[in-house]
A and B are shown apart, each in its own frame.
Chain A
Amino acid sequence: MLVVSCGPKKPSEDEFLKSLEAIDQNSEPSVDLEMINAILQQIPSPIEISMMLKESGTNYDVSILNSADNLPKYNTNYQKALNLGIYGTDLGYTNIYEQNQDGLGYMSAIKELADGLSIGQFFDIETIGRLASNSQNLDSLLLITTQNFNNINSYLQSQGRSNLSVYLLIGGWLEAMHVTCQVAAKVPDNQEMKDAIGEQKVVTESLKLLMDLYAEDPTMATLGNSLKPLWAEYDKVTITIEKGEPTYEVVDGVMFVNDNNKSIITITPEITNNITNIITEIRGQIIG
């Protein structure tokens, strides 16, 4: 496990690890489910990032993913939920790059973690496996996984375990960030990669809001504390928008709108490096 020290007010690793063992009690504090659902729905799919990585010409690299062999390490619901999100992102990445053999390992791990969280009934692993074996089926795979997430989310909320939905989402996002940062480190002059990291500032703001809604949940609070150095780095990223003159046209009954805006993302190499290191550290604690 690679652990890199950086950022202020970092919680001790002991404190973090202790929290991993404390989640198995289903004690849902009162939360605003409507607000939570709205935020959960607005977080972009990790598959968008995987697609961007492939389109930018970067090569597939299985070594940056969380090995399915780590599965036996995940015993608490907290670990299972976060790593289910992580493996979900990894499965999407293998699918985009048509690495079916690697994908099979992730599907098996996903099924086992889902069963462990009593949400295995939502994973028709045979169908997902068939779809994931061909990148041409990406649409169907995305449809099934999106519907799955919605169904799982409703189910967990009905059981007073909505925090697990949040862990799933955060795990998936952290893994997408990790993959992006690792790929970006190999091509430090690639502006698209720098922007891809910087623009996640928008998502971090939603995630902060989401975690604040679980302020009374001690495990969520611990995870939130471990993410604070990351939020602090993103506070230094600026996104400036230059407004343009919008144009539109109708083609074959479809409205095409172009706002002609430009956004400039300012992120220094130091900030990028810090973000990469913090993500590596947090992810390292999660994947074990």
Chain B
Amino acid sequence: MKRIIYPIFALLMVFSVSDAQSQCNPEEHTNTCIPKLSTGFNFLKSYKVDGQGGNKDKVEYSYVFTKGTQYMINVCGPGGNTDGIVINLYDSQRNKVGTSLHDGQALAAFVYPCSTTGIYYIAYTFDGSTSYCGGSALGFKR
């Protein structure tokens, strides 16, 4: 009987460990990120960044930015750091406006004073991420 039970038990353990590794709880990270928006920035949106354990190389959202408004986007991963999650901003023509990747390091926040009202694409990519899981917040100030 033991001969049957042990392999099944071992198999279940493998599944549960791999399941835990691929599980991502972005809300936990967005909740960390929202209060980290700098003073003066009002919260607008929170975004889930779930790279599905590396199966997705990009997670993208869009938002209409308004001329004359400053926007801050931050990102939080496990352990309170970015875990290699990079913020990339593109304008409505898909031209890259900027990135939080600086000298090979994914910075925790990105500020953009908008000069042209339009749809902007916020794309999160992964640079050496281990969890592929995080959260992000978007704030604004006039």
Give me the interface of A with B, judged by CB distance under 8 Å.
Answer: 38, 41-45, 47-48, 51-52, 55, 138-139, 142-143, 146-147, 192, 195, 199, 202-203, 206, 239, 241, 244, 246, 248, 250, 253-263, 265
Contacts and interface: CB of A to CB of B under 8 A. Distances in A.
Contact of B43 (A143, A259, A263): A143
B12 interface: no
B42 to A, nearest CB: 6
Contact of B119 (A142, A206, A255): A206
Contact of B142 (A55, A257, A265): A55
Contacts of A246: 97-98
Contacts of B110: 254-255, 257
Contact of A257 (B43, B45, B89): B89
A255 B64 contact: no
A139 B102 CA distance: 29
Contacts of A253: 107-109
Nearest to A243: B95
Among A55, A143, A265, find the residue whose CB has the most chain B CB atoms closer than 10 A.
A143
A260 to B, nearest CB: 7
6 shortest interchain CB distances as A-B pairs? A257-B98, A199-B117, A263-B116, A254-B109, A42-B62, A55-B142
B52 interface: no
Contacts of B117: 199, 202, 239, 263, 265
B66 interface: yes
Interface residues of B, number: 41
Given A41-B62, A143-B34, A192-B68, A256 B111 contact: yes
Among A41, A259, A260, A262, find the residue whose CB has the most chain B CB atoms closer than 10 A.
A259
Given A241-B116, A256-B112, 4 more contacts: A45-B44, A52-B68, A202-B118, A255-B100
Contacts of B119: 42, 202, 206
B98 A261 contact: no
Contacts of A52: 66, 68-69, 142
B62 A261 contact: no
B22 interface: no
24 contacts: A38-B62, A42-B62, A42-B119, A47-B42, A51-B42, A139-B34, A142-B43, A192-B68, A195-B67, A239-B118, A241-B116, A244-B115, A246-B97, A250-B102, A253-B107, A255-B100, A255-B102, A257-B89, A257-B97, A257-B112, A258-B112, A258-B113, A261-B116, A263-B116
